[in-house]
Amino acid sequence: MSMDEDTIQDRRREHEEETVKQRAAILGFPYLDMRQLEATTPLIATLMSIDEMYRAHIVPLYEGGGEKPFEFGATPLTPQSLIQAMRQDYTERGHLIKFFLISESAYKAMMLRFDPPKRIVHDDIEIAREGDSETIAAVSQTLEKVSSEEVFDFLIDQADKLGASDIHLENERDNIRIRMRIDGALHPVAHLSRDRYRVIMGELGSRANISAAAQESQSGHMQKDITRDNSTHLLNIRVETVPTMYGQDAVLRLFNFDESMLNLDLLGIPDEQRKQIDEIIHHPRGLVLMVGPTGSGKSTTLYSILNALNTLDRKLITLEDPIEYGISGIAQIPINSTAGQTFGDGLRSVLRLDPDVVMVGEIRDQDTAKTAIQASITGHLVLSSFHANSTSAAFSRMIDLIGVNPIFSTAIRLLIAQRLVRRLWDDSKEPYDPDEATKSYVRSVLQNLPEHIERPNLDTFKLYRPVPTDDVPFGYKGRIVLMEMMVINDAISEFLRGGVADAQTDKIESTARASGMLTLEQVGVLAALRGETTLEEIARVI
């Protein structure tokens, strides 16, 4: 409830209490303001039944005896005949009795404590395996039973419980399909009736500030506290909607905000690559670019680097569209690109604030690229993300944006291309001998590995496949980070100086590999040989 709504409710209650106070004077009853008492007054269940309290609009307040009167809270709706009958009954039994006039709101608050609403516990949502229509039907039935007030919160709570990163609501001709992305893969969950969908879209509209009837795509944001196992965490939810043939499709992206989880130590980065990141953190200057598609974990890695840099002697500023995680100690500035704001303009503004570290949510255009480069030359560390498939493609595209310039050659320090792949469940995974075609593929990818990389035996290696269990239905649990890291050395910076005539992606990659860089595909295949994931996952993601 917003502050304005709170104020309106307070005014209504104040008006109601004044009215009851005047009514009490007319009826000759003492008036009792219950606003400070209705949550703490002890409940007395021995004097009246719940049904009697409902019928008479009356609640017991104090169990007397001897010289102390029994006390009751009556409302303007309590029949006077009942009050007279109770006076007579208690007097005949030798007891004192006293009635106070209380407001209807106070009575309702007390009755919520005497007779709390029954909470229905619904079955948890299960993710269906391929071809399992019975589970989808059962979940669909559960969602139809959940009350209109609860269905939206129930869906988000269950998605969080399953560890889903996205909820997809997709309009089809006869119903609404719900899918959830878990560990990077989309799974069908249920089919929803249009009545249920309208309830969810209505809640989305009010909470994320979007219109359920809009004819254009929209973006919104909301937060929700999730309580589980006696602890609470904050869920940031980005909402994207787009009109389709049958109605508005919506995607809810869930960000489980836990600042302690934004930690480089928890990302499972291999030692060699972690040393390169630590080098940047200990000498913060230059430009660091994270590249990869949506959902590849770029934001988590960037925020974790920011958190490692977040010390009392540094000023950190971020420019984000939108802000995904709120981190204490960092000045975070939203950039509303739909309203015409740009990262380039925002970056020029924040550089006047003398920051040590700046994170730019995304470099999208030449202006932002040049401003970021200029900032990194003048002693700032600039972190940003960039859309490209690989570090080499990103470096080539960056040269297209900023042009060949010797001054810029020392600005870019590190490019990281990242993907997330599903991790095999160690307790059930199964080794197998690959066929000759697979062996040939692995050998071709891993030929000419840098000398510092431990070489697997390419004649006798085994691969692993997932084996589903009751607890881990797909044989995968969690994800691992795959990183391709290009450290910009003299050979690579020659492309920016103009020393190499043709800055094509393949030439840049060859130069980087000669300097010891592992490509994403190599990193992925090595992870598959270690039994951390599968070649199928590498093919799906890379």
Lowest mean pLDDT, pick from 158-167, 220-229, 354-363, 489-498:
220-229
User: What are the strands, taking DSSP E only, across 183-330?
Assistant: 185-192, 218-228, 231-243, 248-257, 286-291, 316-320
Helix and strand counts by DSSP (H, E) for the chain: 17, 18
With pLDDT > 70 as the criterion, what percentage of the chain qualifies? 95
Q: What confidence category does residue 418 fall into, taking pLDDT thresholds of 50, 70 and 90?
A: very high
Give whole-number Cα distances, 438 to 444, 476, 502, in Å: 10, 21, 34
Mean of the pLDDT values across residues 35-54?
Answer: 88
Q: The dihedral of CA 223, 310, 367, 388: what is its sign?
A: negative
DSSP codes joined into one string, 66-121:
TTBPEEEEE-TTS-HHHHHHHHHHHHHTT--EEEEE--HHHHHHHHHHHSPPPPP-
Which of the two residues, 133 and 303, has the higher pLDDT score?
A: 303
Buried b (16+ CB within 10 A) or exposed e, 336-355: eeeeeebbbebbeebbeeeb
**Predicted pLDDT at 366:** 92
**Predicted pLDDT at 433:** 94
Residue pLDDT, tens place only, 206-217: 888 888 778 898
Which of the two residues, 280 and 439, has the higher pLDDT score?
A: 439
Encoded tokens for 374: 């200029």
Q: What confidence category does residue 263 fall into, taking pLDDT thresholds of 50, 70 and 90?
A: confident
pLDDT at 405 over 90: no
DSSP codes joined into one string, 293-355:
-TTSSHHHHHHHHHHHH--TT--EEEEESS-----TTSEEEE--GGGT--HHHHHHHHHTT--
Query: Which of 78, 47, 83, 81 is closest to 62 using CA atoms?
Result: 47
Residue pLDDT, tens place only, 179-189: 999 988 889 99
pTM over 0.85: no
pLDDT at 460 over 50: yes
Residue pLDDT, tens place only, 366-381: 999 999 999 998 889 9
Lowest mean pLDDT, pick from 127-141, 266-280, 496-510:
127-141
**Predicted pLDDT at 7:** 65
Residues 119, 112: contact at Cβ < 8 Å?
no
Mean residue pLDDT across the chain? 88
Q: What confidence category does residue 117 fall into, taking pLDDT thresholds of 50, 70 and 90?
A: low
Q: What confidence category does residue 277 fall into, taking pLDDT thresholds of 50, 70 and 90?
A: very high
Encoded tokens for 181: 């992305």
Residue pLDDT, tens place only, 280-335: 888 888 999 999 988 888 988 999 999 999 999 999 999 988 777 778 889 999 98
Give whole-number Cα distances, 186 to 123, 314, 334, in Å: 21, 41, 30
Alpha-carbon torsion angle 512, 516, 520, 526, nearest 10: 160
Encoded tokens for 190: 């249920």
Q: What confidence category does residue 3 fall into, taking pLDDT thresholds of 50, 70 and 90?
A: very low
Total Cβ atoms within 10 A of residue 357: 21
Mean of the pLDDT values across residues 115-143?
Answer: 74
Encoded tokens for 5: 């709504």
pLDDT at 340 over 60: yes
**Predicted pLDDT at 260:** 67
pLDDT at 488 over 90: yes
Residue 100 carries which side chain, given as an amino acid letter?
F
**Predicted pLDDT at 252:** 94
